[in-house]
Structure 1
């Protein structure tokens, strides 16, 4: 459920160049940018291990999201005698996804990097957002790229994607039992999960509590139209044998199998509050990994909202690595 926009290509430092002229892209320049953007995003996903068919599907969805945006400008970056030194593209989604600007791409010509062109492009998008009364700017970056991390160093991390390649079938700790959720357990789980997810996206997407709850409910309806019988989805629960009053399990994990070739995704994981601090988060992740391997996938990915160091430390200790981050800047007058 994370944001799929991002930065394609390598940017430079956060300093701004004073001789950069930013102008509306011509039709020819916009075509050049668009082709290069899709090529760079495709290569990024291939580096993360996605198969060609999955990359093609991602690119199609990415292109459709931009086409559906309310505003989607592309600008050309020029510098004196050097001519075109880069491109910057942004978009603003239609309601009800929040009043914000997404930095779809900043690309700087390789021989022009390191002199503040990327900083000038970022500043232009921020000023354009202010001029259009859009209070938040968002970008998805590769935090392992120092240039991208530096360019958006003043932005706050709103979420990050992590993944791990699975090899051997992990064992569950002694005394713990894993099983699939029952139909009787589903309604209460769905209600609690929708409420929890709404709280997360209210902050991450700058939504009101009412907007966030409506959006969360709609996303759950879209993802699980047939409840537990929805194809390629499974919800697993972990029993400790001493569940607190009113609970039939102590932890749960919701998985989407075959999201891409050989790759599954964690849509939700939680531990009953009374059972936290007992290592059950680690155990239920191992339960999920067992289910993923049994279903035929070998990579498990997930999303962490905000700077949730507890969750990030847990996943890192289990061998998960950050692949990209969503960062935001709330603009002031």
Structure 2
């Protein structure tokens, strides 16, 4: 078995890496413009990655700072012994945990806990809202209360996924909301909805049209706890598809955190396939 050695000339690796990423997204049903947009996101910071080879196969790694902690990332892995080498390399750089983005299954990382998934599906061409459910725009007066609830739920989701402490999760939440909603309720491309049934607001939705080519991203499709178990979860997904087409997009995408098995089961049953899966391991 050959030892892994860090290489300076990464041209041969990079061409293969980009084609592997594109092939994974194409296999998941992405259009070519969407696959290439996702590749651009997956390759962010690529010039700073460290690449090693055993002579025939590859491993690419990096370390970033997240909420004051060093986080190792395995960006590419084709070498059989590459995982152990990557974990040692990340630990040697001071990383407290290592994360990996996967397409097409867990593979060599089945023992890494799931931190989150990106899921997607083409929206129905003429989605219809379920009988008895109406949707309206959230008002600007309702926005502050909605925001407080969304922030609390987001922090709880991050902590449940197991990767961050409550304090780190709050810091990440502050950063993410400021990034995605710099103008709050008036942020261009973002729409907020209230779902009503029997004269009551039973949940809310937050979507971003044009998030990627042809894609509406569902940041939140939330059914209030007291209204769960009544079939509104599937209704909320239909609202997401309705909003996707209303915004001029064809594909709906969203993220689910690890540990939320109920939501994952719902998404499996409604045909939202896993596009990317993010897993992690404490070092």
| 2:82 corresponding residue in structure 1 | 121
| 2:92 corresponding residue in structure 1 | 131
What is the alpha-carbon distance in structure 1 between the residues aligned to residue 205 and residue 68 of structure 2?
26
| Worse overlay, 153-162 or 95-104 | 95-104
Q: Matches of residues 1-333 of structure 1 in structure 2 within 5 Å?
A: 19-25=1-7, 27-28=8-9, 30-67=10-47, 72-77=49-54, 84-96=55-67, 98-107=69-78, 117-118=79-80, 120-144=81-105, 149-204=106-161, 206-243=163-200, 249-331=201-283
Considering only CA atoms, is the larger Rg found in Structure 1 or Structure 2? 1
Per-residue deviation, 1:180: 1.1
| 1:15 corresponding residue in structure 2 | none
**TM-score normalised according to structure 2 size:** 0.90
Per-residue deviation, 1:55: 4.2
Are the equivalent residues in 2 in contact too, given 1:160–1:325 (CA < 8 A)?
yes
What is the alpha-carbon distance in structure 1 between the residues aligned to residue 239 and residue 39 of structure 2?
32
**Number of residues paired by the alignment?**
283
Are the equivalent residues in 1 in contact too, given 2:67–2:171 (CA < 8 A)?
no
What is the alpha-carbon distance in structure 1 between the residues aligned to residue 130 and residue 39 of structure 2?
41
Per-residue deviation, 1:53: 4.2
Residues 63, 323 of structure 1: CA spacing in aligned structure 2 closer, same or farther, 3 A cutoff? closer
**TM-score normalised according to structure 1 size:** 0.78
Are the equivalent residues in 2 in contact too, given 1:50–1:260 (CA < 8 A)?
no
What is the alpha-carbon distance in structure 2 between the residues aligned to residue 199 and residue 173 of structure 1?
29
- SS of 1:197's equivalent in the other structure is helix
Are the equivalent residues in 2 in contact too, given 1:100–1:136 (CA < 8 A)?
yes
What is the alpha-carbon distance in structure 2 between the residues aligned to residue 204 and residue 34 of structure 1?
31
Residues 300, 185 of structure 1: CA spacing in aligned structure 2 closer, same or farther, 3 A cutoff? same
| 1:11 corresponding residue in structure 2 | none
Are the equivalent residues in 2 in contact too, given 1:159–1:204 (CA < 8 A)?
yes
Are the equivalent residues in 2 in contact too, given 1:237–1:284 (CA < 8 A)?
no
Residues 289, 95 of structure 1: CA spacing in aligned structure 2 closer, same or farther, 3 A cutoff? closer
Task: Report the RMSD for the aligned CA atoms in angstroms.
Answer: 2.2
More strand per residue: 2
Are the equivalent residues in 1 in contact too, given 2:69–2:95 (CA < 8 A)?
no
What is the alpha-carbon distance in structure 1 between the residues aligned to residue 163 and residue 246 of structure 2?
38
Per-residue deviation, 1:54: 4.2
Unaligned stretches of 5+ residues in structure 2? none
Unaligned stretches of 5+ residues in structure 1? 1-18, 78-83, 108-116, 244-248
